[in-house]
Structure 1
Amino acid sequence: MSEALVASQAAGTGTPVPAVSGARQFWRRLRAQRAALVAAAVVALLVLVALAAPLLTALEGQDPTTYHPSLIDSARGGVPVGSLGGISGDHWLGLEPQTGRDLFARLVYGARVSLGVALAATLVQVLIAVVVGIAAALGNGWVDQLLSRATDVIVAMPLMIMSLALLAIVPSSFPRPVLVALVIGLIAWGSPAKIVRAQTLTLKQLDYVSAARLSGWGTWRIARRELLPGLAAPVITYSALLVPQNITIEAALSFLGVGVKPPTPSWGQMLTAADVWYQAAPQYLLLPAGALFVTVLALTVLGDGVRTALDPRAASRLRVGTGRKREARAAADAGAPAKADVAAPAQADAGASANKEAKA
């Protein structure tokens, strides 16, 4: 979005001031939500950990696939030797039971797989949804009916059952993280496609779209130049909410044994065997489960904050009833006296009048 300068008169002066851009308004509304800022910081930290996984494991001196059988107590059924699951200076979060693989290395590399699969699946969903939704809204009657019925079929299709079936028949030689992302993206695009179609039908009725049509623009030029900018806000909002959903789906598929396969680390795949060891080595269950919980919670809160920041009506509702301090600040910014300052002289005049009447 361009930073167009709109000549407007400043309060009490004749100086033109630039209009606030949509991006600046978005960041201002997002900064007003502390929960969303905390969630954004958590998400940024998780992404940084995922990207820096090779560096972090190199600092520890471990990798996610090396076995350490000497550090496993076979007499106790494969429990790591030492206290707290084998935590030491060489193994910061302990060891995986039975195999002895480093738990910290598998956790940070699992973040790469879980976040990467979720983001790739979301990208596939959004691309298909935008194309299908715009085509259905701009096409003639039979195109709209055909695409709408196909979208209804996709929405009604049980995601987990279809994913299990597709992942079970694909050869194991195909890269599993890529396959999981494609399966989720190709099956779960129905709901965003409905949202894009409904929003496109609304935008079609606006004056600037009608003007573009009357000027002789083609359908796809109108879609590219006029409709896609208007679809950006709802698409970004829904995409932010799809990422935590896709992380949960990937974890569930890996937990069921049809997702990411060993030795590739994944939080869901780590949870597959963790239920057997939750008493002997509880950190093996708590660490991936806690990472999943924090990630999904942070992404959900951030997605809700993005939705509120992009929705002017929601932002205006947030400003209702915010207290006397914000009203005083707004009045000071506008150059008008606050309510308390206006009320104080009036109360003083009323008190003086009452004293004069009492003396009389």
Structure 2
Amino acid sequence: MSEALAAVGTAGTDSSVPAVSGARQFWRRLRAQRAALGAAAVVALLVLVALAAPLLTALEGQDPTTYHPALVDSARGGVPIGSFGGIGADHWLGVEPQTGRDMFARLVYGARVSLGVALAATMIQVAIGVAAGVAAALGNRWVDQLLSRATDVIVSMPLMIMALALLAIVPSSFPRPVLVTLVIGLIGWGTIAKIVRAQTLSLKGLDYVSAARLSGWGTWRVARRELLPGLAAPVITYAALLVPTNISVEAALSFLGVGVKPPTPSWGQMLTAADVWYQAAPQYLLLPAGALFVTVLALTVLGDGVRTALDPRAASRLRVGTGRKDAAAQKGAAQDTAAQDSAAQESAATGKEASA
């Protein structure tokens, strides 16, 4: 039960019990989805690979920036020497065309950049979006109008065009991964602000929020203690779906040449020159493209699983539907029984008349 209801006279209820019960129900629903569990395992493996990139490259004995000109054929324009792009004991996934840099090292270090930029940008979007949405819903008419119009402007901005413009005018000395994170985060918060505003307006009319106001709580205390817990489900759901979108945006910006710059490895930056080498060294295209595809697919499936697990209406629809089916079955059985009794009574009456 809400803390506000406890404050106005319904004390004695442990407020931690619903949270624990809700968490258990969430994990139970999530465990029931095998696709979401598989996607979560893939995401966890990718995060582990990104965090352990220095250890993995040390085991291989390579790094992502060292050139190996002896491993490429300069007479053929820099094509890797050997089969499958130079795959061997020293280079597990071969080497990069022209430069001879190790592909495995660049791939695992690129996971750090791609995942790090996407997660950091998502956190910025969620922080700004939640703050703007709650402030617009709880503020007066002028505050709501001002924040709503600002949100409309942000939503109407084409993300890729604005990012291209901003990244083009910023000095190259500024760290590119940080810059890409800030650009994506500061331009892409409009949709989540609209979602939070609409959800907050619906929560304002509930009894426990009214009880919190009647108990003398201030606006921001009500928002922090009563509204934010109710906003957790839609915010987490949308954030889970934002991460793969941000990975795709970072890859597209790097592919267009305005994102992460060499020698910093990034999956999108690796794809920048891959179209030139897809025939001579197809692994140079397939490896980063495959990593992007698997990551985005796993995060999308996981986000959809989280949405389903956090949606309380999914279980209620199941219960209501089952109850209606049971009631219909019981009603049909009762009607059949009544019809059989009526037929038996008519048959008995007919037999009596015939015997008379």
TM-score (norm 2): 0.84
SS at match of 2:91: coil
Q: Deviations over 1:189-233 (max 9, x none)?
A: 000000000010011001111111111111111111111111111
Among the aligned pairs, what percent are the same residue?
A: 89
Please tell me whether residue 216 in structure 1 is matched to residue 196 in structure 2. no
> 3-state DSSP class of the match of 1:66?
coil
- In 1, distance between residues paired with 2:18 and 2:219? 34
- 1:199-278 aligned within 5 A: 199-278=199-278
Q: What residue identity is the alignment partner of 2:111?
A: A
1:6 touches 1:18 (CA, 8 Å); kept in 2?
no
* 2: CA distance, partners of 1:92 / 1:321: 54
Aligned pairs (5 A) from 1:289-300: 289-300=289-300
Structure 2: distance between partners of 1:175 and 1:114: 14
CA RMSD of superposed structures (Å): 2.2
Shift of 1:312: 1.5
- Number of aligned residue pairs: give it: 312
1:184 aligns with 2:184: yes
In 2, the alpha carbon distance for the partners of 1:286 and 1:319 equals 46
Please state whether the residue corresponding to 1:21 is helix, strand or coil: helix
Cα deviation for residue 48 of structure 1 reads 0.3
Map of 1:344 onto structure 2: none
| Structure 2 counterpart of 1:125 | 125
Number of the residue aligned with 1:311: 311
Q: Runs of at least 4 residues of structure 1 off by over 2 A?
A: 17-20, 314-322
Shift of 1:313: 1.4
* Correspondence for 1:328: none
What stretches of structure 2 of length at least 5 have no aligned partner?
Answer: 3-11, 323-356
Aligned partners of 1:190, 1:95: CA distance in 2, in Å?
42
Find the aligned partners of 1:95 and 1:315 in 2 and give their Cα distance.
Answer: 51
Contact 1:71 1:81 in 2 (8 A): yes
Distance of 2:250 and 2:148 partners within structure 1 = 27
Q: Which structure dedicates a bigger proportion of its chain to helix? A: 2
Distance 1:320 1:32 in 2: 20
Matched, 1:111 2:111: yes
Alignment partners' CA distance in 2, 1:176 and 1:262: 10
Q: Which position in structure 2 is the counterpart of 1:288?
A: 288
In structure 1, how many angstroms separate the alpha carbons of the residues matched to 2:65 and 2:213? Answer: 59
Q: SS at 2:273's partner residue?
A: helix
Distance in 1 separating the partners of 2:186 and 2:180: 10
In our comparison, the structure showing a higher alpha carbon Rg is: 2
The aligned runs of 1:327-342 (5 Å cut-off) are none
Letter of the structure 2 residue corresponding to residue 287 of structure 1: L
Structure 1, unaligned runs of 5 or more = 8-16, 323-360
Task: Check conservation: 1:308, 1:315, Cα contact below 8 A.
Answer: no
1 CA distance for matches of 2:320 and 2:83? 54
2:286 and 2:226 map into 1 onto residues whose CA distance is: 49
Higher RCO, 1 vs 2 (CA within 8 Å, ≥6 residues apart): 2
- CA deviation digits over 1:254-307, x for unaligned, max 9? 000000000000000000000000000000000000000000000000000000
What letter corresponds to residue 296 of structure 1 in structure 2?
V
Structure 2 vs 1, CA of residues 20 and 216 (structure 1 numbering), >3 Å: closer, same or farther?
closer
